[in-house]
Structure 1
Amino acid sequence: MRQSVPAGSNGPKLKFKPKLDKIVELLLYLAHKHPNSDQYQAVKFMYLADREHFNKFGRPITFETYYALDYGPVATNALDLIKGKFYALKAAGISGLPIELERRDNIIILSHPLRAVDYDIFSRSDIHVFDDILKRYGDKSFDDLYRITHKHFAYDYAWKNRKQGNRALMYYEDMLDENPKKSIIINELELIAENMK
């Protein structure tokens, strides 16, 4: 297993503020590009894209909060929005997702979009990375995505070190690939993480 300097018991160093508007638009973009994705695919694609973008460009796309659950990393705000949780919709300033949702055997499907995507909210790299994630992982099964994400250090570390219960907060610093400047990058980002856009 890859070695890392985990966030550990001191808690996360990188405390990003989730960009709910980008989470909504990225879910809408997913409904356009990969119709009939289910809730599990949606939260995994978002995680994979945020992780990839963070490693390539020094910031996530959505700044989402991720938890390790038994079936893998979960984008918590995205999942709450998909499930239509009142507090999540209110925090995002919407009454519902601009996506037609369908329930099949307790799984929510992002059936098709109800409006165009607001591309102004994204950078070119945001879309490029998300498209790449869909190209690489879009045809993967639940089991495939389960195996892929369970191998990631950030998930594995959070899950194995959870205090109790069935979930554990994942740390962005644990999502960074190993490189000689990793600790410098984390220390620099720590000062500005909450105010990044």
Structure 2
Amino acid sequence: MTYDPLKAAQTIAFFAIQQGNDIDVLKAVKLVYLADRESLRRRGHPIQSEARVSMPHGPVNSTTLNYLNGAFRDDGGWSGVLSDRANHRVGLANPEINQDQLDRLSTGDIAVLETVWAEFGGMSGFELVDWTHSNIVEWQDPQGSSRPIPLDRMMAAVGLERPIERAREIESLDQASRLLASL
């Protein structure tokens, strides 16, 4: 369960398809975070396997934001799904991509993404910033910098029991997956 750039790109592609094949970057990163949060609430695990941080504009998935900002050369399939960021937007690399081709996303992932889109898809990026500042209790104002959001704090915020133990289980699975992948 290490970070999967292709899965993250397909998550953003799902939202871009709903938006008409491109989406505001700020809106995309908020929706990705909200999808992970909803997945935690429903299924006990996030869609993306990555660190999350509080930033001035609210919570974000750190590695996904770095990919959106072009920070990685080895894109792990990202560029086959999404175009480079331009004018604060990101779009599909191929306008023919449709939801059926988003094969890294499970049926459960798609159900979560559909729920998040139904609730938040009509909001702009800055409306989502305001909403997350007011409603995401695990977000803490980083005073112009960034601050980690531990998985157990997200779990507690969505009402999961034993968040520390559950977060450790997920982190142990991630470590084992990384170790096996390196063999």
Pair 1:99–1:155, CA change in 2 (3 A)? same
Query: In the TM superposition, what are the counterparts of 1:1-197 in structure 2 within 5 Å?
Result: 17-34=2-19, 35-85=21-71, 88-90=72-74, 92-94=75-77, 96=79, 98-101=81-84, 103-104=86-87, 107=88, 109-114=89-94, 116=97, 118-151=101-134, 152-156=136-140, 159=141, 166-176=145-155, 177=157, 179=159, 182-183=161-162, 185-196=163-174
Separation in 1 of the partners of 2:102 and 2:145? 36
1:119 to 1:111, Cα distance in 2 relative to 1, 3 A: closer
**Which deviations, in whole Å up to 9, do the C-alpha atoms of 1:103-126 show, x marking residues without a partner?**
22xx2x123441535433222111
Gaps of 5+ in 1: 1-15
CA distance in 2, matches of 1:89, 1:132: 32
Number of aligned residue pairs: 169
Structure 1 residues 31, 101: CA separation in 2 closer, same or farther (over 3 Å shift)?
A: farther
- Give the Cα–Cα distance (whole angstroms) in 1 for the partners of residues 41 and 171 of structure 2: 15
Residue identity opposite 2:60 in structure 1 = V
What is the TM-score normalised by the length of structure 2? 0.78
Alpha carbons 2:82, 2:92 under 8 Å: kept: yes
Flag the 1:141–1:57 CA change in 2: closer, same or farther, 3 A: same
User: What percentage of aligned pairs have identical amino acids?
Assistant: 22
Structure 1 residue 101 displacement after superposition = 4.1
Aligned-CA RMSD value: 2.6
Once the two structures are superposed, what CA deviation does each residue of 1:111-151 show, in whole Å capped at 9, x if it has no partner? 34415354332221110111111111111123321121113
Please list every run of 5 or more consecutive structure 2 residues that lacks an aligned counterpart in the other structure. Answer: 178-183
Distance 1:101 1:165 in 2: 26
Distance 1:83 1:48, change over 3 A: same
Taking a change above 3 Å as real, the CA distance of residues 40 and 193 of structure 1, as seen in their structure-2 partners, is: same
Specify which structure has the higher proportion of helix. 2
